[in-house]
A and B are shown apart, each in its own frame.
Chain A
Amino acid sequence: GESVGLHLPTLSVQEGDNSIINCAYSNSASDYFIWYKQESGKGPQFIIDIRSNMDKRQGQRVTVLLNKTVKHLSLQIAATQPGDSAVYFCAESRNFNKFYFGSGTKLNVKP
């Protein structure tokens, strides 16, 4: 995705609400996708992945949806908690080679 420079898109949600973070990926040949969480001063942390032969995958409190037709990925976080506040990135790859990251969305959870 294109860079948004220093101004990351921000999603503000109330604690306990559900969050939906969206990502548009660029390569229709990408076959593997990961959502990462990055807290301030830390490296990206794996949240959940999905392969292109799936439309949906669920983890603990998180769900990833993949729409290959429009090259769109979303991350749903249930019952969002203050500890979920971070920047979230989607990453795409083909044949598990180098990963291309989106520009990120900052999630701000209000207590």
Chain B
Amino acid sequence: DAGVTQSPTHLIKTRGQQVTLRCSPKSGHDTVSWYQQALGQGPQFIFQYYEEEERQRGNFPDRFSGHQFPNYSSELNVNALLLGDSALYLCASSLTGDFSGNTIYFGEGSWLTVV
């Protein structure tokens, strides 16, 4: 049983470009949350998707958008990339209604470098 898988693992983009990151949640999970983790800092919540809709959002600009597909997989899109968007982007999957932290699983992340 695969855990949370993210792709790509590493990528380099130029300022102003757009990027799409992908996440497949753990089997049986229906909720996907995205986090941004800058070097040396803790993860920051971007948004959460459930039933193909954005359910919650953190303090991130509209340049950050997402999507969830019927198979529960999710994409994170970032437009008009800035140097400050360079970070590790983490996906966390969970099952809505299951209020246990030990059932939240993180992927290994996608490293984005903006040059």
Of A12-20, A78-86, A99-107, the segment with at least 4 beta carbons within 8 Å of chain B is A99-107
Residues of B in contact with A (beta carbons under 8 Å apart)? 4, 33, 35, 38-45, 48, 56, 58, 90, 92, 99-102, 104, 106-109
CA distance in complex: A109, B111 (Å): 27
Chain A interface residue count: which class?
Answer: 20 to 34
CA distance in complex: A56, B6 (Å): 35
Q: Is the CB of A42 within 8 A of B108?
A: yes
The smallest C-beta distance from A60 to any residue of chain B, in angstroms, reads 12
Q: Is the CB of A98 within 8 A of B56?
A: yes
Residues of A in contact with B (beta carbons under 8 Å apart)? 1, 3-8, 32, 34, 41-46, 49, 89, 91, 96-104
Q: Which of B45, B48, B101, B108 is in CB contact (< 8 Å) with A32? A: B101
Report A-chain residues with C-beta under 8 Å of the C-beta of B92.
43
